[in-house]
Amino acid sequence: DYFKRIVLLSPNDDSYYDLAMFYKMEKRYKEELELLKNVKEDDSGWRSFEMAVAYNRIGNHEEAIYLLQSCLEKGRDDTGIREELAGAYLSVGDEKQAEEQYQIEIRYYERALEKHPENTPQILQDMAWIAERLQDWEKELLLLKQLSQMEPNDTWVMYHLAKVYWNMDEYEKALPYLDACEKEKGKEIEPLSLKTLILGRLNRYDDALSALNDLQKMGRNDCWLWNEMGWDYSEVEQYQDAIHCYRKSLQLDGKDPWVNSQLAWNLARMRQYQSALKYFERAVSYGRNDGWIFANIGWIYHHLDKDQQALPYFEKAKELGYEEPWFLNLYQQMQDALHLSENTLTTNE
């Protein structure tokens, strides 16, 4: 209201700018854009930059790219522009251009390190963030290690060290950093969520389930939580608990093909074959199309003593390259039984 009154009393570039920045802070980007359209551009290109940021936030990435390129043409070139350009190019699927912008941004930060050593921690953090976007895990690790030497108790650094080790599939190296985060600041949702993933990949399912229950108590209640919990319960053969978790996930997103198939698989473990078949077929209808699912549908029909209905699904699984030993053995047995039955009928005739 204060900024609006100022605009009414004195409608000029300064008042428009102040209100626009308020809208930006409030994430009211469309209103910000309407105000910025009233502001005259100056030689620095700040108006074009602010409008580009707003356009990026509302999903109009093509307009953002156009405005950011106009900033470059006017001589404004900094890490902020390159960052926004990279994000915009990524959003429109131009990964080559996005990587080029990130690489330019990194070079600017490297120069900044030489000119402003007093800002080294923040610059290294920004460079690590870019390395993560580029999925350059080795570079990110190097930068984070440098940061860790300067700020050994910084939980942001600890968490991102754990995250980069996760991305490098070095799970054992990630855990101590997450434990350090917890020791420093207590249990927090983001580090604890990563910890549950790592514990699961290390086959420490009971520990993972304990952490997932802590997350639930802290208020996390989304598909990710229930899917992870369902998976871990399956791994310790607590199929009824897994079924409960996958049903909870489907209450939040009923059309996820993977979750429907996992619920089906666990129902089958409990010999609830008709229910399992229903969810396997739903998974297919929602887009799952791989050998595993067709092999399992065939397996269900086999357990329902419907081998004639099972065979087309087994054939489909074979066509898609599914070659698990249990499947190949059962498929061969069913084919042999079918040939034997046909030969018996021919002999009787």
pLDDT tens, position by position, 135-188: 999 999 999 999 999 999 999 999 999 999 999 999 999 999 999 999 999 999
Nearest to 144 by CA among 168, 172, 114, 111: 168
pLDDT tens readout for residues 14-27 = 667 777 777 788 89
pLDDT tens readout for residues 53-82 = 999 999 999 999 999 999 998 888 999 999
CB crowding 213-227: b at 16 or more within 10 Å, else e:
eebeeeebeebbbbb
d(CA 65, CA 60): 9
pLDDT tens readout for residues 209-268 = 999 999 999 999 999 999 999 999 999 999 999 999 999 999 999 999 999 999 999 999
**Which three-class secondary structure state does DSSP give residue 138?**
helix
Position 4 scores a pLDDT of: 54
19 burial level (CB within 10 Å; 0-12, 13-18, 19+): buried
